[in-house]
Structure 1
Amino acid sequence: MKKALLLTAALIPMLAVAQSKKFTITGKIGSLNAPARVYFDWTDFQNAGGGKEDSADVVNGTFKFTGEMSGVATCRMALAHHGDGKMKAVYTGDVIYFNFGKENITITSKDSLSNAVFKGSKIHAEEDAYNKEIGGTVMAITKQANVDFSAGTAEQRADTNFIKTIDQRFRKRMHDRTAAQLKYAKEHPNSIFGLIALSEAINASRDMDQIIAAYEGLNPQFRNSKKGQELDKRIKSVKLTTPGAEAPDFTMNDVNGKPVSLKDLRGKLVLLEFWASWCGPCRAENPNLREQYKMYKDKGFEILGVSLDSDKGKWVDAIAKDGIPWIHVSDLKGWSNEAGILYGVSGVPAGFLIGPDGKVVGNNLRGESLNKKLAELLNQ
């Protein structure tokens, strides 16, 4: 009896460890000291959702974050080496993105987060293997495109054909990455990265038969998770917004608080453009949209911009600075924008071209692909 009690007592600490929801991330980056500061934004995307943020001073190169979670989290970690604030660190500084679990993780480097080595994280090791199999992260592919551009001579960098070649190479790598993600999800149904792969691939691929088959083959644990349920909703949303489907109607207030409905624009060719003031690629596309609007607005073309901003001041300021004169609406709920949820938007920019009859005629169009489609439909 005593032996049985001892065995039970010995199992208690093991059970506590197994059920622990805590994680610890300890960093050691050279010998940095204050005012250096690390900013940590993370979301337990598998089960809990909802973003959390934290920050810590760097003391003799070290910093530490702890927290509780129930599944797997994704995060952004940015290091302001000179204490010059979060925004500068995130957008122009030393920043990394990674996934992690209920683990004790160490991050070490002589000089920066971007060169850090991870230890103690099975999730991160699995993520590394996943990224190698699919051809790299979006950031890595984008960085390579920038390297390719910088490697050109001054004359080449001014040559539109040179730029076009780099762009085509970038798009092919992204296309191949999407195909590899679908393959990964199909072949790794018991990996959280199978779910992640599908959640990303659905943004670029409209091969719903493949996506649905891979989704249905996922471990029920992942399908029933918060992220799995969100993916299921997005699959249904994509079905609603495929070419030929009637575009889901919604009503939202413009910058003056006046309600605008998508149905109000029946009879026109409408680009439903999801964007945000903080989205660099969205703002970079605005000059092209301005030109297309000027060219076709008298031929029945309209743009309905739906902002995923939560700050009205920044939204209105971006409209003014970019000189974009079309219709703008927002409920100022950020990523919880009701029209964005309705259309399954998980990244911006995201555009849907809707015909005069209210049916979707194209999606995921921008740049030259959008221009070509507009010319095809309006130059008749």
Structure 2
Amino acid sequence: MMKKLVAFVLFLFPIALMAQKGDYILKGKLKPDGLINKAYFTCSQFNIRSAADVTDGMFEFKGTIEEPAEAFILVQYKGTMKSERIPFYLEPGKTEFIQTDNPAEPIVVKGAKVNADYQKLMTSLNPVLDQKTKLDAQFKALTTEQQQDKGIMADFDKKEDVMAKERQAICLAFIKANPDSFLSLYALNKYTGYIPEYEIAAPLFEKLSARVKATPSGKAYAAQMESLKSTAVGKQAPDFMQPDLEGKPVKLSDYRGKYVLVDFWASWCGPCRAENKNVARSYSVYHPKGLEILGVSLDVAQFKQYWLKAIEEDKLPWKQVSDLKADNAAAKLFGIQAIPQNVLVDPKGKIVAKNLKGQDLHDKLAEILK
């Protein structure tokens, strides 16, 4: 857990679960005791952030969406810092938020089919997610000395691995049992993670119903699978061209005849910045033996100065390029949805390894650059 580098999500598939546009209405049916006085509604996919007063236990939000998406309601208790966050799926139709007379019970969400499937999946996942939250809290409580103890860290890693396998098993069971559920796309993303392996993800995706695969999210996932298939280890790396820091065009094919590590990162990505130290160490050892690195930044033009500052701060001496667009063309070509990621290309332009991090990067470079 603590030894593993977690990928920073760049642009998630918007789990877009229905093709048709529709009106939604969210209704709060809380206890009319005045303890909850404010409700906040957020849906990141559609940039919705709205607030409503709670009167006699009632609140309401209305609108129109293109397709269902993850969202949440946050209710605030009057005169306190106490609040309750209620995740749900925003979908066309009516969704109700009902508070029972039992103060120990959470607010219940009552919606249509997509939301019912979401609640079913989360009911299975929540016990494991709660365990993970407790484990994270235990880690944060460790002293610096304890965090450097290999035995303690190995125990944490072992526990996290067990939880990860439990989460994967739950998601896999849901996917197999519900091939016609839109939520199976959500479960598939949870199962494979943000850096999916084609050999694992593609067969599961193919078993989903034609109706699910025809949704916008289904089409997006299919496109990613095609990109991953065409850039698998053993395939010829697709060429691309992006400008360097001076605006001069640089092609991947310019490095033909040398081993080149194509490194996808961004200045705003914490895990990328942490891994930069490891990549820099590799470069210092293996550049004299023939290694080149081509950094591809997923920063955007508006914040170019942070990209330049990060290059200087992290002391990255190799070539850096970027089209400075939110949907970086090179990243899209390689099916990249999260960073850091990298692709190792041999002198003939063939992909020989992907996503080498930490000691794995050093070991692979030592193997090929003797």
The reply to whether TM is greater than 0.5 is yes
For the 8 Å contact 2:171–2:187, the answer to whether it is kept is yes
Bigger RCO (CA 8 Å, 6+ sep): 2
How many pairs align?
Answer: 331
Please report how far the alpha carbon of residue 260 of structure 1 lies from its aligned counterpart in structure 2 after TM superposition.
Answer: 1.1
Aligned equivalents of 1:101, 1:22: Cα separation in 2: 8
TM-score by length of 2: 0.74
Match of 2:356 in 1: 365
2:202 match: secondary structure? helix
Match of 1:70 in 2: 66
Aligned equivalents of 1:363, 1:283: Cα separation in 2: 18
Pick aligned residue for 1:289 from 267, 279, 296: 279
Match of 1:234 in 2: 224
Aligned equivalents of 1:24, 1:60: Cα separation in 2: 15
Aligned equivalents of 1:372, 1:153: Cα separation in 2: 31
Deviations 1:263-299 (A, max 9, x none): 1122333222222233222223222222222222222
For the 8 Å contact 2:261–2:292, the answer to whether it is kept is yes
Aligned equivalents of 1:141, 1:282: Cα separation in 2: 27
Change (3 A) 1:309 1:216: same
For the 8 Å contact 2:21–2:67, the answer to whether it is kept is no
Deviates more, 1:226-235 or 1:312-321: 312-321
Q: State yes or no: 1:147 paired with 2:141.
A: no
Please report how far the alpha carbon of residue 233 of structure 1 lies from its aligned counterpart in structure 2 after TM superposition.
Answer: 1.2
2:250 match: secondary structure? strand
Match of 1:100 in 2: 90
Deviates more, 1:165-174 or 1:337-346: 165-174
Match of 1:49 in 2: none
Q: Which amino acid aligns with 1:347?
A: A
Structure 1 segment 93-172 matched on structure 2, within 5 A: 99-105=89-95, 117-122=107-112, 123-133=114-124, 143-152=133-142, 155-171=145-161
Q: State yes or no: 1:300 paired with 2:290.
A: yes
For the 8 Å contact 2:198–2:229, the answer to whether it is kept is no
Match of 2:310 in 1: 318
Q: Which amino acid aligns with 2:92?
A: K
Change (3 A) 1:136 1:246: farther
2:42 match: secondary structure? strand
1:272 match: secondary structure? strand
Match of 2:23 in 1: 22
Change (3 A) 1:150 1:42: closer
Unaligned 5+ residue runs, structure 2?
A: 1-19, 78-82, 100-104
TM-score by length of 1: 0.72
Unaligned 5+ residue runs, structure 1?
A: 1-18, 44-51, 82-92, 110-114
Please report how far the alpha carbon of residue 251 of structure 1 lies from its aligned counterpart in structure 2 after TM superposition.
Answer: 0.6
2:313 match: secondary structure? helix
Instruction: Name the structure with the higher helix share.
Output: 1
For the 8 Å contact 2:24–2:65, the answer to whether it is kept is yes
Match of 1:112 in 2: none
Q: RMSD between aligned alpha carbons?
A: 3.7
Identity %: 32
Match of 1:47 in 2: none
Change (3 A) 1:215 1:55: closer
Q: Which amino acid aligns with 2:171?
A: Q
